[in-house]
Amino acid sequence: MLTTPRLIAIALCAALNFSIGSVVYLTKLPIYLDSIGTILCALLLFPDRRGGFVCAWISGALSLVLSGLLINPFVPWFEMTDVAIALFSSLVIARGADTFRTHPLPTVPFAVRVVVYGVCTGIIAALVSAPVVVYLFGGVTGSGSAFLVALFLKTGQQLMSAAILSGLAADPIDKTLQVLFAALLYRATPTEFIKMLRTSYDLAATTTHT
């Protein structure tokens, strides 16, 4: 499953998560942009959903550990959010792989998939992350989203409600941007590299059918 090309893809996607996510965190924007590589990894390995999930999860986990050690100590505690994003990416978002690669670009189907996948990913991420934000950090995570939590608290919301509402306000926008960037990067990836990533799955499928 973890061939050399796939290990290279994992490393590149982890670096993508870490670099963009770190810049966003340091600028305190109320978004994250730290799972683009995770989504991209699932797209690159489609239709091998199991391999896509494993590689997407590993790339996300590596970036979380690296970010926790160097930039943001809060990040590793959101591992379950990473798992949820990797699972949704491999099972659902990856289904848009053909649309994202079609030439010329099918503008309407492309946009619809990006928005639907992004909003759904955002809702999932917000719901999975809220308990961590509340019970481990009391609503203060050091990221720009903490300002949204504080804003909802000032309106009279309880902490859990404020954490969920802040997530639902920011995550769908954030994840839609991430799906868009991942889709564009996937679209720009050389066909030869994608074929190398999928070789092991294609061989296994051929052996099964024969």
What the chain holds in terms of domains, given with CATH numbers, is 4-209 (1.10.1760)
Question: Is pLDDT at 209 greater than 70 in this prediction?
Answer: no
**pLDDT, tens only, 159-198:** 899 899 998 999 999 999 999 999 999 999 999 999 999 8
Q: Confidence band (pLDDT; 50, 70, 90) for 137? A: confident
Instruction: DSSP for 98-138, please give it.
Output: HHHH-SS--HHHHHHHHHHHHHHHHHHHHHHHHHHHHHTTT
Distance CA 57, CA 82 (A): 7
CB 144 within 8 A of CB 158: no
Q: What is the mean pLDDT of residues 147-168?
A: 88
Question: Is pLDDT at 206 greater than 80 in this prediction?
Answer: no
| Residue 139: alpha-carbon gap to chain centroid | 22
**pLDDT, tens only, 51-110:** 999 999 999 999 999 999 999 898 999 999 999 999 999 999 999 999 999 999 999 999
